[in-house]
Structure 1
Amino acid sequence: MIRTLNIYDNPVIGVFATCTENAAIVPYGTGENIVKSLNEYLDVDVFSTLISGSVVVGSLSCGNSSGLLVPRQSSLPGLIGSDIPIVEVPGNLTAMGNNILVNDSAALVNPELTDGAIEVISRALNVDVHRGTIAGVKTVGMAAVATNRGLLVHPRINQHELARLEDVFNLPIEVGTVNYGSQVVGSGVLANSKGYVAGSETTGHELGRIEDALMN
């Protein structure tokens, strides 16, 4: 089973899409074959939308089984009438998917997020929220992927950050890359506890590491 694909002919699928245990959110214009693959591999309903007119849905949003976080004053026409709770996060850091790493039990966020934003995130997603970095990167949502079974993280994570992640998520952690060597693994993987997909340039060795990290 080939678990690689593109969105808009681009392998950085984590920039364009996001997923939870229950849903995947993709931009308008995503091919029907891609929607079908996401439905099959992740065992989720797939919704198409734009976030305030933008196709970078994965950079601007993220969530878990409790809800979906978006920037304040966002419009999401494709999600009107869906049963997905949508919560707007205040503040100037609008790229929720870039700045938040979350599963159903915990979240690590950009240290620059305000106390008010963290309070909203915690309440909306029903998780404890912690500030931190991964490999010195503040945009932790791009530097790692988290499911309810494990984490795949940037290969240059340091021991202090690794210990912090282990304490926050209490899950196995593996380092890896995507898309033929990209260290920002969040940009190239969509995953939940039921499955995963990666960008089309991801090698067989990288796919093995992703599976070890997120599925075992």
Structure 2
Amino acid sequence: MIPTLDIMDTPVIGVFATCTEDVALVPCGTKANAKDFIADNLHVQVLEVILSQSSVIGSMIRGNSNGFIVPRGGFVEGLEGIGLTISVLPDKLNAVGNIVLANDSAALVHPDLSDKSIDIIAQTLKVNVHRGTIAGLKTVGMAGTATNKGLLVHPRTTAQELAFLEDIFELPVDVGTTNYGTPMVGSGLLANSKGYVAGSKTTGYELGRIEGALGFISKD
């Protein structure tokens, strides 16, 4: 089975959903077959989340195995009882999924985030947090995808940025696209160390790049 799908009738699945090693968050109204597909491919529990009046859960929330960061001023329902720390990002820059790239060991964040926000992210996710860019972009959460096995990032990421990512995450980093050439790979991909799901327009070549970068196939 090809691991591609739509969420909310669009292939930009990373805008609408986000995942960790154990949980995937999707907007209310996500079709049952999409939820089942995510659960089967990522081996996670899928939770429907209400975030004020927004369905762009992937753009607004970021988490890992230790906790989730949610935006300031947003009413979030659906994360109760999961046994993880839920913290609010105090910055005006609060589209957390867009501006935070994280796995269970490190995080790269928008370079303009405040020290207070950096501390909250570090304490909640229990990771070292670094400011930086990917391909010169500050929206690092959508310019890349990070798992505990590897990273896939924007194809125009510079050599210096790649080296920095490899240093802070201590994992292999590769470049690629999703959804037939979309460079903001985080917008079209959900992944953890156990599996991945890409947007429905992602090509076979792109799927191969994803699988190689995230450790699902050998690059040799």
| CA-to-aligned-CA distance 1:183-202 (integer Å, 9 cap, x gap) | 00000000000000000000
Deviation at 1:72, TM superposition (A): 1.9
After the TM superposition, which residues 21-170 of structure 1 pair with which residues of structure 2 at under 5 Å, given as runs?
21-170=21-170
Which letter does structure 2 place at the counterpart of 1:118? I
Q: Once the 2 structures are TM-superposed, how far is the Cα of residue 6 of structure 1 from its aligned partner?
A: 0.3
* Identity rate, percent: 59
Is this contact kept in 2: 1:195–1:215, CA < 8 A? no
RMSD of equivalent CA atoms: 0.9
Equivalence for 2:201: 201
CA-CA distance at 1:73 after TM superposition = 3.1
Give how far 1:49 is off.
1.2
Task: Give aligned pairs, total.
Answer: 216
Quick one: distance in 1 between partners of 2:190 and 2:88? 22
Distance 2:77 2:144 in 1: 29
Counterpart CA distance in 1 for 2:181 and 2:203 is 9
Q: How many Å separate the matches in 2 of 1:169 and 1:79?
A: 27
Matched to 1:180, the amino acid is Y
Alpha-carbon separation, structure 2, partners of 1:73 and 1:4: 33
Structure 2 CA distance for aligned equivalents of residues 31 and 107 of structure 1:
31
TM-score (norm 2): 0.96
Secondary structure of 2:130's counterpart equals strand
Report the Cα distance in structure 1 between the residues aligned to 2:174 and 2:81, rounded to whole angstroms: 38
Letter in 1 for 2:61: S
Aligned-pair distance for 1:78?
Answer: 2.1
- Letter of the aligned partner of 1:125 in structure 2? L
- Structure 2 counterpart SS, 1:50: strand
1:45-72 deviations in Å (ceiling 9; x for gaps): 0000121221000000011000011012
Amino acid at match of 2:124: A
Deviates more, 1:85-94 or 1:202-211: 85-94
CA distance in 2, matches of 1:82, 1:106: 22
Task: Name segments (4+ residues, structure 1) moved above 6 Å.
Answer: none
Question: Contact 1:136 / 1:157 at 8 angstroms: preserved in 2?
Answer: yes
Query: Matched residue of 2:58: which SS?
Result: helix
